[in-house]
Amino acid sequence: MKSSDPQLQGKRNNQRPQTQRPADTQDDWWKYGVIYQVNVRSFFDANNDGVGDIKGLTAKLDYFVELGVAAIALTPVFTSPMSDFGFDVSDYYSLDPAFGDLDDFDALIREANKRGLRVLLDIVISHTSVQHPWFLESKQDRNNPKADWYVWADAQADGTVPNNWQTTFGHPAWSWSSTRGQYYLHNATSRQADLNFHNSEVIAEVLNILQFWLERGVAGFRLDCPNLYTHDKKLRNNPARRNMAAIPEEALINPFEYQLQIYNQNRPETLPTLARIRRLCDRYEAALLGSVTSSATFEMLNIYSGSQEGLQMANIYEALPSVCNLPGLVDVVRTFEENCDQVWPYWMLNNHDVARLVSRWEGDHDAPRLAAIVLALHLSLRGTPVLFQGDELGLEEAYIPFDNLCDPYGKLSWPQYMGRDGCRTPLPWDDNLPQAGFSTHKPWLPIDPRHLSHAINVQQKDPESVLRRVQRFIQWREEQPEILLGSMSIIHADASVLLLLRKHKGGRLLAAFNVSYEPAEIELNLPQPPEVLNGHGFAGELRDNRIYLPPYEAFFGRLP
Ligand code: NOJ
């Protein structure tokens, strides 16, 4: 199954792009470069069938080069019945025909390499589609070769489900198979059966899959929910949460939130598997990002990514709340720094599972300016920034009428919860073209008319657009060792202003942000004022040892 083109084999991604970065940031690209999560389905549709594809992505690679990102991380592209839009895989060794084929993929890697861009894949291996041939075989009877590849359990004496586990989408995590006369476990929808990570053949196959794609030249993986890989063999009931008051009210519509997930996920048995995955990836100098979704994030971060045996980077799920504001974000940053100083995180303030940030941010705001200042803050945190497609345009959450809903989670919980389609709509390329230049065909999700004024062609013409500002900021960031590598502490924070200190070797960089429509001032009280840094595109000023921040502006200075 390997590529026959010798040029495509092995460690192709090791040439480093030309950069002005400080000398000590030339290794570990994944630590210093910005990563961009591409929602392939909605990026660009080259074959005009309404669904974005790999050829479309390849055609637009220069967009990423201009933006200045180091790598793109693709949402799942493997063959799938798409009941959860690729998070339900039925063949890990092929691309879904909607996205293209392996030749298209190889061409993507070749073209990306030419531009010094790395490509990461999203590996969803905690579960497969129920249409995967492994599951179809497994459910036949209790003795077939794949019988133990999934998590099967007998009904209780009264016929009910084996235990109290709930899916993340909010219903019992067990479904019945009449062929086998048993229940199978699914942490997501009933169309997504959980693989049995207690079975060594399953783990060997996971390593084969990863190696197949590493050989094709991918530079790393986002592992979808690695903390869900293993379940408790004894199938013990999860206990109820002790502190229900800590759960945001809107989450109470989901019974999953009522439990402490200690037996269906977050199992220590996952760690040896993760170590084997890491060893394989290290051979290819590939990066591992893990989307660790847990009610105990900070504890899990230390467990999953605090060592050479785990992920290089894990995300901080708390940074994606349903209602955002500066104090909430500062609280997450502070808790992270206090609890996880050995962990290198990746920060996402948006992703394919949550409503777009400018729509989640509390209060009335000038949305493009809010987007620009929050992006600057995001890109100034300790860790790897991962942008989600559309962040760079400051897109707001699209409105999707019920009849157009695609997301299975949304269909289940609408209208209390509108689902995840609103952040997954096609990227607006050109406000003058039908379907905003994404496709000539009706797209799989409608384009919100409000996105036209944010289209890429519009923003490219305006030096003060969110797109141009974030480009400028990414370029500037590349040359600031304290931001790329330094420690981080919070010097001052209030409802709308944050002052960070980033330190690296002898360098000390102050970064101040005003996330509000009112001007703000910060008294510095320093024996010597900082040297004012320019080139980042923000208009904060230093006067008499005070930082002046106009609305939605930032200031950067280096201390002597
Ligand atoms: C986590 C992914 O981020 C989400 O999009 C998906 O629906 C679930 N895993 C289930 O696969």
Is the C-beta atom of 292 inside 6 A of ligand 1?
A: no
What is the average pLDDT score of the chain?
Answer: 93
Tokens for 126?
A: 């905690």
pLDDT at 3 (0 to 100): 37
* Residue located nearest, by CA, to atom 2 of ligand 1: 224
pLDDT at 25 (0 to 100): 60
Is the C-beta atom of 352 inside 6 A of ligand 1?
A: yes
Is the C-beta atom of 225 inside 6 A of ligand 1?
A: yes
The CB density around residue 276, as the number of other CB atoms within 10 Å, is 16
pLDDT digits (tens, 9 = 90+) for 339-364: 998 899 999 999 999 999 999 999 99
Q: How far is the CA of 6 from the centre of ligand 1 (A)?
A: 35
CB burial of 379-412 (b: ≥16 within 10 Å; e: otherwise) equals bbbbbbbbbbbbbbbbbbbbebeeeebbbbbbeb
Distance CA 197, CA 270 (A): 8
Strands (E), 459-514: 487-493, 497-504, 507-514
pLDDT digits (tens, 9 = 90+) for 511-531: 999 999 999 999 998 999 999
Mean pLDDT of 393-416: 91
| Closest atom, ligand 1, to C-alpha of 187 | 10
Mean pLDDT of 282-307: 87
* Residue located nearest, by CA, to atom 6 of ligand 1: 87
Q: Are 68 and 474 in contact (CB under 8 A)?
A: yes
| Closest atom, ligand 1, to C-alpha of 124 | 11
DSSP 8-state symbol, 316:
-
Distance CA 230, CA 383 (A): 27
pLDDT at 253 over 90: no
Q: How far is the CA of 298 from the centre of ligand 1 (A)?
A: 20
Beta-bridged to residue 192, according to DSSP, are 129
Closest C-alpha among 58, 42, 61, 39 to residue 50: 42
pLDDT digits (tens, 9 = 90+) for 19-33: 466 666 667 889 999
Instruction: Look up the pTM and report it.
Output: 0.94
The contacts of residue 555 (CB under 8 Å, 6+ apart) are 510, 511, 512, 532, 538, 540, 541, 542, 547, 548, 549
| Closest atom, ligand 1, to C-alpha of 192 | 11
Q: Are 343 and 381 in contact (CB under 8 A)?
A: no
Q: Is 383 left (phi over 0), alpha (psi -120 to 50) or beta?
A: left
Out of 124, 129, 350, mutate this one to test ligand 1's pocket (max ligand atoms within 8 Å of CB): namely 124
Model confidence at 306, pLDDT cuts 50, 70, 90, reads confident
Is the C-beta atom of 218 inside 6 A of ligand 1?
A: no
Q: Are 489 and 465 in contact (CB under 8 A)?
A: no
Distance CA 93, CA 52 (A): 20
| Closest atom, ligand 1, to C-alpha of 188 | 10
> How far is the CA of 65 from the CAs of 72, 115, 275, 382, 470, in angstroms?
10, 7, 33, 23, 13
